[in-house]
Amino acid sequence: MADHSLHDPLLDDVADIQEITSCRVLVKEVISENKKLWYLAGPAIFTAIAQYSLGAFTQVFAGHLTTLELDAVSTENMVIAGLAFGIMLGMGSALETLCGQAFGAKQLHMLGVYMQRSWVILNITCVVLLPIYIWATPILRFFGQDEEIAKLAGKFSLYMIPQLFAYGFNFPIQKFLQAQSKVLTMAWVSAVALIFHLVLSWLLIVQFKWGLVGAAVSLNLSWWLVVLGQFLYIAVGYCPGAWTGFSWGAFKDLGAFARLSIASAIMMCLEFWYYMLLVVLAGRLQNPEIAVAAISICTNLNGWEIMIFLGFNAAISVRISNELGAGRPRAAKFSILVVVLSSALIGVFFLALVLGLRNVYALPFTNSPVVAHAVSKLAVIFAFTLLLNSVQPVLTGVAVGAGWQWLVAYVNIGCYYVVGLPLGFLLGSKLNMGVQGIWTGMVSGVALQTAILTGITYFTNWNKEAMAAESRIQKWGGSVDPPVNGHKASNHKEVPV
């Protein structure tokens, strides 16, 4: 475990530089840091994959009904639920900054208060998002989606409203647990929910022939099982100090807290919407059912791979926020180096895997040889996408741990919406490159964003970031008195900005 006593950041830097004096010491430190990262990343990766798989396996079951039903479920998952997922995950990610830095600063009593504030803000947001679910069909029609796909996707969206509110509770709970490194619990709960989902989906869709209704019932129940399982773990007393019960402090400083939540949501949503809009653009091409199915399969597989690196995202976010909260910038920088190298190596493996299976990797998702052929034509550029997406989520995790949400939001606007999407539309629709053109534009935006985030991370003064950590907690989190037997460190002092 990292030493959480407060040091002078400059002295920390000097000490760490003198400590690593040989390759042997460096290898030892790399191995030690990798153990810390994998302790967090392993369960977080499994959790992310398991929860993403709830929707992905629903698409797999729907794909063996009809192509139209596959398109409807894919469109709802990517566009409507994808919109809500991005907003909820993004707003919940404010807790990665605040809970992580509060934990590093030993202000444990604030973690439960932060989680409850996030519940309030996210569930208000859920109510605001309800019209998107209710009027999904005209919204999709407005963006040029095929009429039959829009109607069926809109119907499925109405069934999925309970999932929206599950998002509102789930993400704050997850960030609360992640900040304390209680990731194994999340993994176990997600594993149970995934098994439950697969069995129930098979019963309702395959055996009982309930079609999309069965898919919706199974998906809604599975998400609420995740929420209730995680909260039960917290409520029975496994987070002492961090959870002291419901508090009126949850309703204090909501404005300041909401501003960081909104910044986090904008940052994350700009990424999720980017992939969502690929499906919308595909719906405007010739043979929209084939184009949407091909894009959906690739984004589905891409999403599974991203879930792996969202595990690294969570791990590096916890490491960065904890170390900055404890005033250890050198440890934060070293964590970044180790996790970027580790994730890039895994990205190379996925690139080789897709190229080796280029003619068969679409078959589990479709019975149509035309769709499978369209997907195989994307293999080279899709493989390069997987390599980029091995590094990009890690850099985003660094940004969240450091509290740079607004900065990354501006970067995402420029890279994705000024460069990526217009280029994809130009290549796909105007130059008749079809699905390949759309995907090429998307990858160009991701590559530019990854390059910019790499530069920002490299040139950051991490000493200043460590000094600003406590003032960020006070500015965006507010102050709540700890309980009588609280765990606030008596030796903690305010770090000047």
- Banded pLDDT at 486 (limits 50, 70, 90): very low
Please say if the pLDDT value at position 194 is more than 90.
yes
CB 316 within 8 A of CB 37: yes
Please say if the pLDDT value at position 30 is more than 50.
yes
**d(Cα 74, Cα 56) in Å, to the nearest integer?**
9
Average pLDDT, the chain: 79
pLDDT at site 472:
60
Nearest to 59 by CA among 306, 365, 281: 365
**pLDDT digits 0-9 by tens, 396-445:** 878 777 777 778 888 888 888 888 888 888 887 778 777 778 878 888 88
CB-side neighbour CA atoms (13 Å) of 81: 32
What is the phi/psi pair of residue 222, to 5°?
-65, -40
Across 47-70, average pLDDT: 82
- Banded pLDDT at 15 (limits 50, 70, 90): very low
- Banded pLDDT at 179 (limits 50, 70, 90): confident
pLDDT at site 487:
41
- Banded pLDDT at 332 (limits 50, 70, 90): confident
Nearest to 157 by CA among 169, 180, 170, 139: 139
Assign residue 246 a region: left if phi > 0, alpha if psi is -120 to 50, beta otherwise? beta
User: Which one has a higher pLDDT value, 497 or 458?
Assistant: 458
pLDDT at site 10:
33
Domain edges within the chain: 9-477
| Token pair of 57 as six digits | 């396996």
pLDDT at site 18:
41
What DSSP line would sit under 53-85, residue for residue?
Answer: HHHHHHHHHHHTT-HHHHHHHHHIIIIIHHHHH
pLDDT at site 482:
57
CB 281 within 8 A of CB 429: yes
Place of tokens 């909401």: 258
The CB density around residue 490, as the number of other CB atoms within 10 Å, is 5
pLDDT at site 4:
37
Rounded (10°) angle between helices 94-104 and 109-134: 180
**d(Cα 198, Cα 293) in Å, to the nearest integer?**
22
pLDDT at site 360:
75
Chain Cα centroid distance, residue 158: 24
The CB density around residue 253, as the number of other CB atoms within 10 Å, is 18
Mean pLDDT is lowest, of 174-178, 268-272, 339-343, 404-408, for: 268-272
**pLDDT > 90 fraction of the chain, expressed in percent and rounded:** 18
pLDDT at site 493:
34
**pLDDT > 70 fraction of the chain, expressed in percent and rounded:** 86
**d(Cα 69, Cα 297) in Å, to the nearest integer?**
14
CA distances 225 to 207, 232, 310, Å, are 22, 10, 22
pLDDT at site 221:
96
3-state secondary structure of 118: helix
Nearest to 84 by CA among 131, 120, 149, 26: 131
User: Which one has a higher pLDDT value, 465 or 169?
Assistant: 169
Across 226-245, average pLDDT: 90
What DSSP line would sit under 154-200, residue for residue?
Answer: HHHHHHTHHHHHHHHHHHHHHHHHHHTT-HHHHHHHHHHHHHHHHHH
Nearest to 371 by CA among 292, 282, 300, 440: 292
- Banded pLDDT at 200 (limits 50, 70, 90): very high
pLDDT at site 189:
96
Please say if the pLDDT value at position 479 is more than 70.
no
User: Which one has a higher pLDDT value, 336 or 138?
Assistant: 138
pLDDT at site 468:
67
pLDDT at site 146:
80
User: Which one has a higher pLDDT value, 410 or 1?
Assistant: 410
- Banded pLDDT at 5 (limits 50, 70, 90): very low
pLDDT at site 216:
93
Please say if the pLDDT value at position 149 is more than 70.
yes
CB 401 within 8 A of CB 318: yes
Rounded (10°) angle between helices 161-179 and 81-92: 30
**pLDDT digits 0-9 by tens, 260-317:** 778 777 777 777 667 667 666 776 666 667 777 777 777 777 777 777 777 777 788 7
Please say if the pLDDT value at position 383 is more than 70.
yes
What is the largest distance, in Å, between two alpha-carbon atoms of the chain? 68
**pLDDT digits 0-9 by tens, 360-371:** 777 777 777 877
Please say if the pLDDT value at position 212 is more than 60.
yes
Nearest to 106 by CA among 475, 360, 486: 486
User: Which one has a higher pLDDT value, 64 or 356?
Assistant: 356
